[in-house]
Amino acid sequence: MSAEWWREAIVYQVYPRSFADADGDGQGDLRGLISRLDHLSGLGVDAVWLSPFYPSPLADGGYDVADYRDVDPRYGTLADFDRLVAEAGARGIRVIVDIVPNHCSVEHPWFREALRGVGRDRFIFRDRPNGWQSKFGGPAWTQVEDGQWYLHLFDASQPDWNWRHPEVVAMFEDVLRFWLDRGVTGFRIDVANMLFKQDGLPEVELPPGTPLIPADAAVPYENQPELLELYRSWRAILDGYPGARMSVAEIWYGNAEVARPYLTGDGLAQLFNFRLMPAPWSAARFREVIEESHRLAVETGGSIPWVLGNHDVPRMVTRYGIDQDLVRDPTAEVLLGQVEVDVVLGTRRARAAALLLLALPGSAYIYQGDELGLPEHLTIPAGERQDPMFERTARTFIGRDGCRVPLPWSGQATPYGFADVPVRPWLPQPEEWGRLSVAAQQAADGSTLELYRRAIAERRRHPALGDGDLTWLEHGPEVLAFRREPGFTLVVNFGAEPVPFTGTVLLASGPLDGGLLPCDTAVWLA
Ligand code: NOJ
């Protein structure tokens, strides 16, 4: 692996609240994660990225940070964190943490001071709100007791920082150093394209009939030029530490050109590529996204961190098991609770997608539970849903709880080994998850867990995989196929009919039919 290890790394995303619960309170914690590190080394990942574990009222699952330099007591202590870094490091696994610089929590001491009238200019307070809308639905402004309003582009519990205030800039530099000193290898930067707001906070037209602004709309609170300078300065901090530290930015875009300034900006190591997530299961659409993204990566000298799942989107198995016209349409989320899901079909496609993901040039991010083929939990009772999006959109968006359900490790009943004691997890687990648990899939021939393990092992072994180039092969409109040198071919059949292939099979996402590749199946060939 090169010095820029992230260019081809496999990074596993841990959502700490739902990974493993050592103290039996129904919420995951750092000691739980430490106790399950062998699962990650068994998978063969290079790094873990931890979603926030900082002190937080958990109004947005921890993306509402009350203290950037500590561990929430529900998740453990700083000593536990240090042990995590050491124990992961002993297994060759790096630790990336989440930094949330656009907003904090209303519980952050500086915001509490601001409410008392001290240091309000660290946030964005105005006498009158403008018409900006929250990304979670509803107005982006909340009024405080003395009549002023503060800006929050997400939940009202998440006030936006004023990035034109030098104390805010300095505070975040300290936070970066705090975690770098503790041995983290880098940062995943939350909503990295927001932070700076255009002077004067000009109005934005909301498209009629939708509660949310569509992606790629040029809005005065996204992609402002000051960000490039900020990320250059963060890069300088990272580069001041030994051992190739990095950052990966969360930026959603539809048009690849939105990414170009960041990729040429000499600041961020990587920008997540989310573009396959809203893509329907279609060879043509997948190829279009991969071609465009790869071209941009080659032009900018970057590498692509591919993502097929995370804690913000419906699970792959469910996405690929619904009417594919709904995947492209943002209202799919609305309908998800109502549409029919073919889990068998979705699982077949998700397994094929995993082989595609791991064969693409660049790095791959795997969201916890995708290696088990978990589906979205669609029947969480309304009263138990926790995502603020659900209420803020008057329950029209079902929200993101369904992909955040605690993992099944073993056994046939909840909590499925998530905790060792019979506790009720913070989100309910579905009834049929026993067959999907890690224990049930371990060493089970043909299980999704085994498929991931074998694919990651093969990827590490094969000189063609990881960073590099690809050459498209023409196989008809329903087939996606490319070659990577030396001597590797991927073929994915998106169509309804089996297709012929030639070569020696290294790995297949499902049973093959002699020399034919069945529909919704991928194969790796030598
Ligand atoms: C993106 C995070 O991934 C998401 O979970 C969170 O709600 C928003 N940013 C706000 O921090």
Number of helices followed by number of strands (H, E) in the chain: 15, 18
For residues 79 and 42, give the distance between their C-alpha atoms in angstroms, rounded to a whole number.
25
CA atoms within 13 A on the CB side of 457: 11
Q: Measure the CA dihedral 92/98/19/184, to 10°.
A: 30
Give the per-residue pLDDT at 2. Answer: 61
pLDDT at residue 210, as a whole number: 63
Q: Please give the helix or strand (H or E) that residue 289 lies within, else none.
A: helix 283-300
Separation of CA 60 and ligand 1 centre (Å): 8
Q: Is 154 in the pocket of ligand 1 (CB under 6 A)?
A: yes
Catalytic residue among 46, 190, 458, 467: 190
Three-state DSSP at 160 gives strand
CB contact at 8 A, 273 and 297: no
* Contacts of residue 323, Cβ cutoff 8 Å, sequence gap at least 6: 339, 340
Mean pLDDT per 10-residue segment, the chain (526 residues): 87 98 98 98 98 98 98 98 98 98 98 98 98 91 98 97 98 98 98 96 79 74 95 97 96 88 88 94 97 94 95 95 83 76 97 98 98 96 92 86 97 98 97 97 94 98 97 96 98 97 97 95 98
Residue type, 300: T
Pocket test for ligand 1, best of 99, 154, 158, 193 (most atoms within 8 A of CB): 154
Across 237-339, the runs of DSSP E, i.e. the strands, are: 246-249, 270-271, 305-307
Task: Report the separation in Å between the CA atom of 52 and the middle of ligand 1, taken as the mean of its atom positions.
Answer: 10
Query: In the structure encoding, which two tokens stand for residue 193, read together?
Result: 């394209």
Where on the phi/psi map is residue 147: left (φ > 0), alpha (ψ -120 to 50), or beta?
Answer: left
427's tokens: 């989100």
In this prediction, residue 169 carries a pLDDT of 98
Which atom of ligand 1 is closest in space to residue 136's alpha carbon?
7
Residue owning the nearest CA to atom 10 of ligand 1: 63
How far apart CA 16 and CA 508 sit, in angstroms, is: 32
Q: Determine if ligand 1 sits within 6 Å of the CB of residue 367.
A: no
pLDDT at 255: 84
pLDDT of residue 444: 92
Q: Is the dihedral of CA 247, 251, 253, 258 positive or negative?
A: negative
363 token code pair: 């790095």
Q: How far apart are CA 152 and CA 196, in angstroms?
A: 13
Nearest atom (ligand 1) to Cα of 102: 11
Question: How far, rounded to the nearest angstrom, does the alpha carbon of residue 170 sit from its chain's CA centroid?
Answer: 27
What integer pLDDT is reported at residue 424 of this predicted model? 97
The answer, yes or no, to whether any atom of ligand 1 lies below 6 A from the CB of 60, is yes
What single DSSP character describes residue 256?
A: G
Q: What is the chain's alpha carbon radius of gyration, rounded to the nearest angstrom?
A: 22
CA-nearest residue, atom 4 of ligand 1: 312
CA distance 135 to 140: 8
Which amino acid is located at 498 in the chain?
P
Q: How far apart are CA 389 and CA 392, in angstroms?
A: 5
Alpha-carbon gap, residue 230 to 244, rounded angstroms: 19
**Kind of pairing between the strands at 186-189 and 246-249:** parallel
Q: Which of 484, 487, 493 is nearest to 512 (CA)?
A: 493
Dihedral sign for Cα 25, 31, 35, 36, please: positive
CB 170 within 8 A of CB 163: no
Chain center to CA of 2: 24
Q: Which atom of ligand 1 is nearest to the CA of 64?
A: 11
Cα 275 from Cα 255, distance rounded (Å): 9
Provide the residue count of the chain.
Answer: 526
pLDDT at 392: 85
Name the one residue in this structure whose structure tokens are 């995947």.
327
C-alpha 318/C-alpha 353 separation (Å) is: 13
60, 274, 277: which to mutate for ligand 1, most atoms within 8 A of CB?
60
Q: Is 260 helix (H, G, I), strand (E, B) or coil?
A: helix
Alpha carbon distance 186, 95 (integer Å): 7
pLDDT of residue 433: 97
Give the mutation target among 312, 390, 392, 400 for probing the ligand 1 site: most ligand atoms within 8 A of CB. Answer: 312
Cα→Cα distances 386→61, 112, 389, 395, 428, Å:
8, 24, 9, 12, 11
pLDDT of residue 393: 84
Q: Is 469 a catalytic residue?
A: no
pTM: 0.97
Report the separation in Å between the CA atom of 311 and the middle of ligand 1, taken as the mean of its atom positions: 9
Q: Whose CA is nearest to atom 3 of ligand 1?
A: 312
Q: Which atom of ligand 1 is nearest to the CA of 389?
A: 7
In the numeric block, the tokens 């997890």 are attached to: 425
476: DSSP letter: -
Residue 99 parent element (H or E): strand 94-99
What is the residue with the minimal CA distance to atom 2 of ligand 1?
Answer: 190
CB distance 110 to 119 below 8 Å: yes
Please state, in angstroms and rounded to a whole number, the distance separating the CA atoms of residues 24 and 8: 36
Residue 519 CB burial class (10 angstroms; 0-12, 13-18, ≥19): middle
Atom 11 of ligand 1, residue of closest alpha carbon: 63
190 labelled catalytic:
yes
Q: In what helix (H) or strand (E) does residue 367 lie, and over which residues does it extend?
A: strand 363-367
Q: What is the pLDDT of residue 331?
A: 66
Indicate if ligand 1 lies below 6 Å from the C-beta of 467: no
What is d(CA 417, CA 111) in angstroms, rounded to the nearest whole number?
39
